[in-house]
Amino acid sequence: MTVVDLMSEAKMNVELRSKAIEKGRYELYNCFQCMRCTSGCTSMKLLELKPHQIVTMVKLGLIDELITSGIIWTCAMCLKCTERCPQDAAPSDLITALRNLAFDMEANVPEAYLKVVSTVLEVGLIQEEQKVTSRDFEVYDREQLNLPKISKPDEIFKNNLLILLTPEED
């Protein structure tokens, strides 16, 4: 489904729009649709992401559609759109805000992103220490490479992280 299909049937949700805007840090209403964002977008060619359409849809309050469609997860976060926006509308920040909203509302967040969160909660890092294989198929760990042991964070940090990740009650 393309963004245009989504727009034709959607209804404005003002409440969610203010939530999305509150979560972001940008001058959304300054956007005058110059499309500099879309013309340089890494994901445009392969995944049809058009940041200027996302900005318009948020202005129109079509938030439910955006967070359930999966389109917000096609952004590669190269941040060219935000760099080049002449109006400080920062489309990539807006996409991040929409992703955050999708997480709060448990709406269609790709599994892999949730897995990263649980690993960070569990390990403190995005993954456990890995063994690596050289081009000659020798296997090495940190110790064999004379690298110091990893010092991991305490439990308190995990509790704090969990508190922050729990959606606030309205």
Partner 1 sequence: MEIGVYWGCMILTSQYAYEMSLREVLPKFGISITDIDKASCCGAPIKNVNQKAAIYLAVRNLALAEKDGINELLVPCNGCYLSFSEALHYWKKDDTLKRELGSLLAEEGLEFNGNIKLWHTVNFLHDKIGTEKIKTAVKKPLNGFKFVTHPGCHILRPSTIVNVDDPEKPRKLDNLLKALGAESIDYPEKLDCCGGGLLLSHSESALTIAGLKLKAIKSLNVDGLVVSCPSCKIMLGAKQEAVGAIVGEKFEIPVLYYTQLLGLALEIEAEKLGLHLNQSPVDKIIEKLT
Give me the residues that bind partner 1 (CB under 8 A), please: 23, 25, 42-43, 46-47, 73-80, 82-83, 90, 96-97, 99-100, 103-104, 109-110, 112-114, 116-117, 120, 124-130, 132, 134-136, 138, 140, 142, 145-148, 150-154, 156-157, 160-161, 163-165
Q: Can you list the alpha helix ranges (DSSP code H) found in 24-151?
A: 36-39, 44-47, 51-59, 63-69, 80-84, 91-104, 111-123
* Complex with partner 1: residue 11 or 149, whichever CB lies closer: 149
To the nearest 10°, the Cα dihedral for 43, 44, 49, 50? 130
* Complex with partner 1: residue 12 or 126, whichever CB lies closer: 126
Q: Which residue has the tokens 């959607």?
A: 10
Rounded least distance, CB 72 to partner 1, Å: 10
* Complex with partner 1: residue 29 or 157, whichever CB lies closer: 157
Q: Which residue has the tokens 């079509």?
A: 62
| The two three-digit tokens of residue 4, written as one number | 């245009």
